[in-house]
Amino acid sequence: PVYCPATGRALSYIVSTRDQVVHMPGVDAPIAFKAWEALHTEISQKYDRTMIEDLALHAGLRITATFTDDKGYFTDVVFAPNNGRT
């Protein structure tokens, strides 16, 4: 992954180590990759508590519960409609 601390965004890629053609079920055409061609697979956005609260506010939601890991690296947040509450 490539992480940018200014934006809190992590970008993930897989890279073909050789020229190759991939056949995938359900895809009508083969997919060709050149050696060292990068395929962008994921954007993982990191948010701190203030950012989460701001996003919830602007979406008309409120936080009803949060669950974190022991080190505070990850947070799962439960939202509910704000319905005019602060």
Q: Cα(45)–Cα(3) distance, rounded to whole angstroms?
A: 10
pLDDT tens-digit map of 14-43: 999 999 999 999 999 999 999 999 999 999
Residue 70's pLDDT is what? 95
b/e map of 65-85 (b: 16 or more CB within 10 Å)?
Answer: eeeeeeeeeeeebeeeeeeee
pTM above 0.75, yes or no: no
Of residues 50, 38, 39, 40, the one with CA closest to residue 77: 50
Residue 57's pLDDT is what? 94
Report residue 5 as tokens.
């601390």
